[in-house]
Structure 1
Amino acid sequence: MAQRLRLKRISVSLRVFNILVAGWLASFTNIGFYQHLSSFSSFSGLTQYSFIFVTFLILSGFYFFILQILSWQHSAKVLATVLIILTGFSSYFVNQLGVNINTDQIQNVVQTDVHEAVDLLSIPFLLWLIKTIVLPLALLCYLKIEPTKNIKHLFLDKLISLMVALFIIGLGLFSFYSQYAPIFRENRELKAQISPLNILSSSWSYAHKNVKTQNLPLISYGEDAHQISYAIQQPAKIMVLVVGETARAQNFSLNGYPKMTNPELSQLDIVNFSQASSCGTQTSVSVPCMFSGMPRKNYDQALAAHREGLLDIAQRAGYQVTWIDNNSGCKGTCERIKNYISPKDQSAYQKWCSNGECQDEVLLAALNDYLKSMDLKKLKQNQLIVLHQMGSHGPAYYKRYPHDFKKFLPACETNNIQNCDHNSLINTYDNTILYTDHIVASAIHVLQQTGVPTGLIYLSDHGESTGESGLYLHGTPYFMAPKEQTHVPFLFWTSQQWPEHQKIQHCLSLQKDHAVSQDNLFPTLLGLLDIQTKVLNPQLNLLAQCRGSI
């Protein structure tokens, strides 16, 4: 039997082998790219099909050209295996979820944790991998590459085939140059949809950027930071900053959404900014950006990675800074603060956790315990506490809230969200917003009971696409990102004991419908904490109208 199986193996030359692999890499695994390219063209009918076919030939010729250079007798199958695996993974997210594979997405992969990665697994995902990885690799095993006895003939064959590949690529580009030139000039994101080119080029860019910024010295920022003199004489304050996850403003009933997703917050005396925008479309960009002190248009991710930020400045000015995390870390923003608490890693909080993932009530429990550890009646040091939510992190939205908050039905109880009907998907997402409403409102109630001056700011890192225009999740390049990914909820609350409470509430209320952004967080929060430093931009400080420049 084994002998019969060996006889069935097909012998092919290295050139033919590379043609087959190149054709596979450029095939239906790039259907999403071909569909988008077609939508940007001015063709229709047979001409449109010809345009896509020529594009397939160009892409096949490109991959064949690369394979002919890199593939040799003993390395061809190894290289083909790697490329097929990368193509299978990247093509799923591009074709099924509309996610562009760029440098920021590679950074997301590197910075994610095991539980977030597991949430991406689904039956359709596994079936896709079987279809695009397992089956082609099985076929690969039955191909035998013929050994080349004459090295001169091999080099000559490679040279001729490279010239043919270049000719095909050139002829194809020339045939439709009038279409390719404007399409790719105006839609540079298309290259992020070509597998496996997208994952290879983005990984290289990410690695190159990391090498450049690795081991760079820490740059001090706001070294002159200090609390203004009259504030030092006042009772110690507690400020809580809730960093939301994947919440979009349009699903907040506070902003006019028809479903009641904010029943608890709507009963509180808060200031809700209805027109807030994010710095990025993913956590790894938005969180460092909002703490960096750099406006979005001037944001330098490499600089932010080795420069002090908001938390360093608050700590320098005398605040006790604490980060309580129920997500995948602080993305470098809290590396130098003294207190980092991850309640999901502590046995005392496991009632809110399952399989390593915790619902956000674990943050409330940790906040309660942390406040109880202080003698609030004799509190001497001002406190800045950051709560980092799991929030509405997808695609497993149904895991983000307990059963009591499963209000909007029917729900999409799978991470295979692209196969849910839109109504059930939105219901599930709205349930996560309902739960976030409870978490933020409960945090305010906890602070109200302390009897000391307290305040809270809630700001989501970015929004989320739930099937609009065929897009899911987030991470779309900012210049082309839909409002669902950039329009975020942003709200303030201060207790009656907070200095100038009424004046601050009134002043901020006058700006609640103005266009604001995460750019405003850095100067406004430090201003609210009575911290003065030359690095604050008064034009972005929402409190400047309340008390003059701070």
Structure 2
Amino acid sequence: MLKKEIKITHFVLLLSLINFIFFHYPFYVFVFNNLNYNSISGVFVIISLIILMIILNAFVFYLFFNLSKYFGKFILILFFILNALAVYFVNTYSVIIDKSMIGNVFNTNYEESSSYFSFKLILYLLFLGVLPSIYVTKAKIIKVTFKKFMITSSLTLLFVLLLVFANASNWLWIDKNSKQLGGLAMPWSYTVNTISYFNSKHKKNKKEILLPNATIKDNKKSIFVLVIGESARSENFSLYGYKKETNPLLSKTSNLHHFNATSCTTYTTGSLKCILEHQDTGDLYEILPNYLHRNDVEVIWKSTNWGEPPLHIKNFKNKSALKESCKGEICDYDGILLEGLKEQIELSTNNKILVVLHTSTSHGPTYNKKYPPQFEVFKPVCKSVELSNCSQEELINAYDNTIVYTDYLLHQVIENLKALPSYESAMFFVSDHGESLGEKNLYMHGLPMSIAPKEQYEIPFIVWMSNPSKQLKPSSNLTQHHVFHSVLRFLSVESPIYNEEMNIFMK
């Protein structure tokens, strides 16, 4: 077949059919799960979607090849390679390739992305990406005249329009599920959403909008430590009623409180913005650390994670910077965030201090590598990045061990603060989002909030205070937006944008 010439129309139809067979199983699983395929209307929608998928992809490929044979081959090879990668993650982790997921891709660092590497991924790339690409490279394509191109294009578009209008009665269902359908259609899920992601970035304020100036009302020495968790879901904290003892230290800590809470999103960048902004807005307003730093509060930020909005502070250290002055096993885990922290606070000449510790403790898929060996309390554990290959017990054990390590880290933060009696101190632990651990065959996080299960957005919100007489407002459910205003209140920062309703401390 490679030695023979092939007409361009036959070639693009063949490639579109291969694209359909190789990469659209998740698409049609979603369709069958959300449509009554026993009805005539349902059957008609399914058949129409199959025909549209094949014809429209073939038509776009047809346009590419008529622009240039070499351009067409390059684009198709790129599509097959990227399709193979995309469908691997869709099949393995049940993700949907929407704009937020594209944001996660472009904000993922090398260390995190390398944790997804597996033999299965190589097989996907070889059989679904490389092999079709070899055929595309070697194919001898017969192009058509401009007149025939115009006739074929016109008839194709007419057919598509007729099929679309024939489904007029089903537009409501298609519109309702458009985000999920679009996120599973290859290669347009990542193509359209990549364009949308960068378009959104371009439209965002190039410079953050400054908040009104604030004033510090007293000279009392105060420290607030905000620990931002990663992928920690409240369901697996024994503080929240989990049957396994994952909080052996915090459960014995006095002046500790925990609240039910929900995250704004199911991905890190969106939730970080939510935690650090003064209200829910699509604009880039001055975030908490920048605002406090500009208004004479000392801000210390240490991170083993990523995804922070732009920070304009002096004391920022990421994982690589922290490792430069670290020795021993602790350097490979989130315990590195606590190294030298107490001493750094003692050297401060400022009465008001905000410390932000951005952890990565419960981020998958390599849960078993997120804690030191002595914290492997629950066994056996999942050691594969292909989470569906592990038993439910192994997967949950590995994840629960990350919660045990989180318990230890928070306990150490509290002990450090207790060792600074000249300061009144408080600690918040708020996770960026939750995590799916195989429930409903879903793994990790990142699903759109409209369809995300509770495991991906029900998060812990844990509060500790050094002053036992300080009271908290009763609350049944908090959000990440409570952080900004509670920090202002605790540090006695007076601001025109302060919202008493979003503060959890009593007057």
Letter in 1 for 2:216: Q
Match of 2:102 among 102, 106, 116: 106
Map residues 450-465 of structure 1 onto 2, 5 A cutoff.
450-453=420-423, 454-465=425-436
Matched residues in 1 for 2:343 and 2:387: separation? Answer: 37
Which residue of the partner structure matches residue 3 of structure 1? none
Deviations 1:350-408 (CA, angstroms, capped at 9, x unpaired):
52478xxx311111214245235x17xxx543211111101201111111111111111
Deviations 1:126-177 (A, max 9, x none): 211212101211222332113x4xxxx5223322332343355345445555
1:132 equivalenced with 2:128 (yes/no):
yes
How do 1:92-491 residues align onto structure 2 when only pairs under 5 Å count?
A: 92-146=88-142, 148=143, 153-170=144-161, 172-173=163-164, 177-179=168-170, 181-186=172-177, 188-213=179-204, 216-223=206-213, 225-228=214-217, 231-232=218-219, 234=220, 236-295=221-280, 299-300=281-282, 303-304=283-284, 307-328=285-306, 330-332=308-310, 335-345=311-321, 346-352=323-329, 358-371=332-345, 374=347, 380-453=350-423, 454-491=425-462
TM-aligned CA distance change 1:95 to 1:45, over 3 Å? farther
CA–CA distance in structure 2, aligned partners of residues 287 and 211 of structure 1:
19
Q: Distance in 2 between matches of 1:217 and 1:172?
A: 46
Are 1:65 and 2:82 matched, yes or no? no
1:521 matched to 2:483: yes
The letter of the residue matching 1:293 is H
The TM-score with structure 2 as length reference comes to 0.93
Residue 119 of structure 1, CA deviation: 0.8
Do 1:17 and 1:145's aligned partners in 2 also have CA atoms closer than 8 Å?
Answer: yes
Distance 1:49 1:43, change over 3 A: closer
Gaps of 5+ in 1: 1-6
Q: By how many angstroms is 1:244 displaced?
A: 0.6
Q: State the alpha-carbon separation in 2 of the partners of residues 350 and 158 from structure 1.
A: 67
The answer to whether the Cα contact below 8 Å between 1:327 and 1:389 also exists between their aligned partners in 2 is: yes
Contact 1:99 / 1:475 at 8 angstroms: preserved in 2? yes
Per-residue CA shift, 1:4-32, capped at 9, x if unaligned? xxx95232122222112222222231111
SS in 1 for 2:339: helix
Residue type of the alignment partner of 2:72: A
Contact residue 435 and residue 456 of structure 2 kept, 8 A: yes
What SS is found at the alignment partner of 2:469? helix
Matches within 5 A, 1:486-505: 486-496=457-467, 501-504=468-471
Structure 2 gap segments, 5+ residues each? none
Alignment of 1:9-48 (within 5 A): 9-44=3-38
Change (3 A) 1:527 1:20: same
Partners of 1:182 and 1:343 in 2: CA distance: 46
1:48 CA drift (Å)? 6.6
What TM-score results when the alignment is normalised by the length of structure 1?
Answer: 0.86
CA-to-aligned-CA distance 1:487-529 (integer Å, 9 cap, x gap): 1111111113xxxx4132xx34x33xx1111111111111111
**CA deviation after TM superposition for structure 1 residue 273, in Å:** 3.2
Whole-Å separation in 2 of the counterparts to 1:266 and 1:323? 27
Percent identity, please.
29
Q: Residues 220 and 308 of structure 1 are in contact (CA less than 8 Å); yes or no, is this contact kept in structure 2? A: yes
Distance 1:79 1:8, change over 3 A: closer
Note the C-alpha offset of 1:435. 0.8
Q: CA deviation at 1:180?
A: 5.2
The 3 A distance-change label for structure 1 pair 115 and 366 is farther
Letter in 2 for 1:351: G
| 2:73 aligns with one of 70, 77, 80 | 77
- TM-superposed deviation, 1:61: 0.8
Shift of 1:62: 1.0
Question: What is the total number of aligned residue pairs between the two structures?
Answer: 503
Contact 1:281 1:475 in 2 (8 A): yes
- Is this contact kept in 2: 1:57–1:168, CA < 8 A? no
